[in-house]
Amino acid sequence: MKTRRRPSLHLNSFEHRRLAVCEEAARIMHQQGIRDFQTAKTKAVERLGVGRRFPLPSNREVERALQQRLRLFSAEFWSDRCRLLWRLATEIMETFSAYEPRVVGALLRGIVTEKTPVEIHLFSDSPEEISDSFMQHRIPYECFDKRVRYRRNRYAMIPAFRFACEDVSVELLAFARNSIREAPLCPVEGQPMLRVSLPRAREIMAST
């Protein structure tokens, strides 16, 4: 007669530590405003002293834990901040409407903290066109390049612009106009990023 094998205490401890890292990484992202998941997980491992001999939680798992924290501990702030960021996003999209703007990133995914930026993709024949628009609207900005990943591990450096609006960081990425149908991969899920156009952004703002 075969006896039923009892669960290993080691495995239970293993899963407990993994979940602890997930929750701690979410707490760090919430309280410290860290946006990079790997940085948060590394800090969580160091904070808990659990070692690194086991697979870390996925970015998606940490994001779910962060979503729960935001709604549990910062419900009123989260709601107010969402309204502010969606209002700013639609206003900025209207300003740069000639470049077929699309909202992307944490705001679209509902991950809104005090440090969450408004992230928008623009599409133009030349980044200089967008620079001219900044000059026309007298918006001070800084330029940088941001690396994005596409399918088949293809990477590209995209010209980007950063500025502040009502103490909110805004990041605009300038893609080639013919690349509007090919979204880079989301760093959380590894799938093509969701992108929202101005009409849809207005609808979301109205319902937020």
What stretches in the chain show pLDDT beneath 50?
A: 1-11
The pLDDT, as a whole number, for residue 6 is 41
The pLDDT, as a whole number, for residue 12 is 55
Q: How far apart are CA 195 and CA 126, in angstroms?
A: 21
The pLDDT, as a whole number, for residue 71 is 80
The pLDDT, as a whole number, for residue 152 is 84
Q: Are strands 102-104 and 154-165 parallel, antiparallel or unpaired?
A: unpaired
The pLDDT, as a whole number, for residue 5 is 45
The pLDDT, as a whole number, for residue 171 is 97
Quick one: fold of 75-207? Beta Polymerase; domain 2 (3.30.460)
Q: Are 173 and 121 in contact (CB under 8 A)?
A: yes
The pLDDT, as a whole number, for residue 2 is 46
How many of the other CB atoms lie within 10 Å of CB of 97?
A: 11
The pLDDT, as a whole number, for residue 183 is 94
Closest CA to 136 of 98, 101, 105, 191: 98
What predicted TM-score, i.e. pTM, was given to this entire model?
0.80
DSSP states of the chain: -PPPPPPPHHHHHHHHHHHHHHHHHHHHHHHH----HHHHHHHHHHHHT--SSSPPPPHHHHHHHHHHHHHHH-HHHHHHHHHHHHHHHHHHHHHTGGG--EEESHHHHT---TTPPEEEEEEES-HHHHHHHHHHTT---EEEEEEEEEGGGEEEEEEEEEEEETTEEEEEEEEEGGGTT-PPBPTTTSSBPP-B-HHHHHHHHHH-
Cβ contacts of residue 154 below 8 Å, gap of 6+?
none
- Which residue ranges make up each domain of the chain? 9-73, 75-207
